[in-house]
Amino acid sequence: MAKAERNASPTRAEHGSPSARAEPTELTEPSAKPKPSKPASSVQPGPATPEPVAPRRTDPAPSRAVIDAVLPSVDGGRFAVKRVVGELLEVEAHCFTDGHDKLRVMLVWHAEGDVAVHEVEMKHRSNDEWFASFKAPTPGRYLYTVVAWVDHFLSWREDFVRRVEPEDIRVAALVGAALVSDAAERASSIDRKLLKAWAAALRKQASLPLDDVTELQALALDDTSAQLMAHYPDRRNASTHTPELPLVVDRERAAFSGWYELFPRSASPEPGRHGTFADVEARLPYVAELGFDVLYFPPIHPIGQLNRKGKDNALVAQPDDVGSPWAIGAAEGGHKEILSQLGTLQDFRRLVAAAAKQGLEIALDIAFQCAPDHPYVKDHPQWFRARPDGSIQYAENPPKKYQDIYPFDFETDDWAALWQELKSIFDHWIAQGVRIFRVDNPHTKAFAFWEWAIAEIKREQPDVLFLAEAFTRPKVMHRLAKLGFSQSYTYFTWRNTKLELSDYFIELSQGPGKDYYRPNAWPNTPDILNEHLHGGGRAIFASRLALAATLAPNYGIYGPAYELMENEPRSAGSEEYLHSEKYELRHWDLNNPDSLRGLVARLNRIRRDNEALHRLSGLQFVNTDNDQLLAYTKRSAKGDNTLLMVINLDPVNRQSGWVDLSSLTRDALGIDIALPYQMHDLLSGQRFMWQGPRGFVILDPQQGPGHVFRVQQHTHTERDFDPDR
């Protein structure tokens, strides 16, 4: 929808459903009734800290192990951390005990609903911080926690090493023998015999009146026996961190994807003819050649006739105007039907299959709003808000009015039936083979609905992904990500200077959202022609493309408008396109020799071939002495792929300056900068030799957006100069 329309909804709808409805797991039947909520005045403060209770002789001793924190966690476990299949979840626990006893700490994880659990021994580093990691094998929902206990055997062993007096050593050996005997009672039959034998040997050796206790020391500190003891610890007084922390694991495309948006109705090769799914099928090789893996469509449903908008968002449509796809629904159907001019459901299913053969997934736009002639309006008027005159309230963002759109009322008394019906729209398209959805304006629908709907859908289909199209307040955008959206739009479109870009992407990659907010960067959308692109030429479009493609592992463009550099706004200061494709058919000359298609394809090939660009976590900005040069590195998790990007932010003038790598460690770069290293520009194919922390660059915006260097230690081999590398 247009930017103004994205914010268009009655004010009350912004607040979502009342607190009595904010328990999504309780919605099991459409007829479920909300629980009455207490008025604000009746809310009482929580109970005071209870007084300590005197211990009873029958109570078990409290655990001495303290688990002070488990990280990562999102809002204390209220929401899930996110990872993808094959990606490590690195867990940090802050654990300690009184005195000098030794702890053992375990990371415990399991798939939600599974009885069987997996345990990983956590390793102590410093300052009572313990670390371990695991990889979840399949998409789905998991739970993890930490268990810690005082390990008396480890404490005894460390104490035993420090003893020097023979009598002390003999007494300590007898204490150890008792610990081993206890462990034997917990052991399997074979290991029980081994442990009992070891305990007996300790007692026998300790009873010998010898001044030389070397043999006793060696027996007590036997590593093989100690490893056996580790399998049978005494965990009766263990502490367990509660609650268990949730983890949502998605497939790889949630973390790394390239999106290409097009309007199927404009896919016709003939000017003036309405495009069809068959036309889109013919265009699939073009999109695949560009290197994208997600092909995203605006709504493909029937478009309302009542109050239909005309070209350039005109209030009165002409007879041949096609209307806005976001004004969903007409006499022929609504969100589960297809606009007849595009084709049939069978045609759509064939397109989905054809796209898969080209390595593309079809993503659909889901916009929960209705045109005035949508069947829902007649069949379920209670799902919409009524005005004082009895008419239905259309969308507004005063002083603007959107008479062609009716928003749903998420505070309706029939909310449960509304929720179930909206979820069934997702279910319908999932059944047609769609696994990715871009959700329009989710911030103007009830948050509780999204938490319930996404959880229900992913419980049934864990490979389904959701992109939240919400350009709104930061906390609201983050809340949507916490509620379950797999990816989120960003403010990249409005971040243009060196400081703006570096500050924003440091926040995205290192801030608290790094464990749940997956940014998707778009330099343009059908709604947004940022003023930075107004009247701009090849240089600015190339620069913004290179930034989006290399800063964010998920990015997208609205095409063919982007590669053909559509740059004329409807009016000065407006972010709306002149002749916006949202309101009319457009014909695009894909063979225009000035197209950016070659650069798009090359950037996507670089993205695919370099794992450093597959994640946001390896991003680090580096200093330059020119504010028009933005430089940053990315390094793969395995450490075998490092890239340095240097982008010219000035679309007019040639810029030069020094790039300073001295702030990066050898681990961050993977090379020793004191020795010669090669900078292979993957955009131009050129190779440069650098040595030391600084390198000089000259960037002409008419030649390209900048450098995408692959950083390699120079080895003086012919392989370094292979032109195909």
Positions annotated as catalytic residues are 440, 469
Write the CA distances from 473 to 106, 422, 499, 563, integer angstroms: 39, 25, 20, 30
Angle between helices 447-460 and 474-483 (to 10 degrees): 30
Please state whether beta strands 487-489 and 465-469 pair in parallel, antiparallel, or not at all (unpaired).
parallel
For the record, the structure tokens of 164 come out as 């020097």
Question: Under DSSP, is residue 545 helix (H, G, I), strand (E, B) or coil?
Answer: helix
Tell me the HSE value of 482 on the side-chain side, using a 13 A CA sphere: 17
Which residue carries 């916009």 as its tokens? Answer: 367
CB-count exposure of residue 337 (10 Å: 0-12, 13-18, 19+): middle
Give the DSSP H or E segment for 538. helix 538-551
CB-count exposure of residue 63 (10 Å: 0-12, 13-18, 19+): middle
Q: What count of residues does the chain have?
A: 725
Return the closest-CA partner of residue 455 out of 74, 134, 88, 79: 79
CA distance 331 to 74: 45
Question: Under DSSP, is residue 309 helix (H, G, I), strand (E, B) or coil?
Answer: coil
* Amino acid symbol at 545: L
Find all residues with CB under 8 Å of 470, minimum gap 6, and list them: 6, 441, 442, 443, 476, 477, 480, 488, 489
Write the CA distances from 653 to 493, 544, 624, 631, integer angstroms: 22, 16, 17, 17
| Residue spans of beta strands (DSSP E) within 498-547 | 519-521
Asked if 89 contacts 83 with a C-beta cutoff of 8 angstroms, the reply is yes
Please state whether beta strands 642-648 and 677-681 pair in parallel, antiparallel, or not at all (unpaired).
unpaired
Question: What secondary structure letter does DSSP report for 387?
Answer: P
At 530, phi and psi to the nearest 5? -60, 145
Write the CA distances from 170 to 195, 206, 224, integer angstroms: 19, 5, 21
CA distance 671 to 679: 12
Give the DSSP H or E segment for 224. helix 223-230
CA distance 207 to 507: 65
Give the DSSP H or E segment for 130. strand 129-135
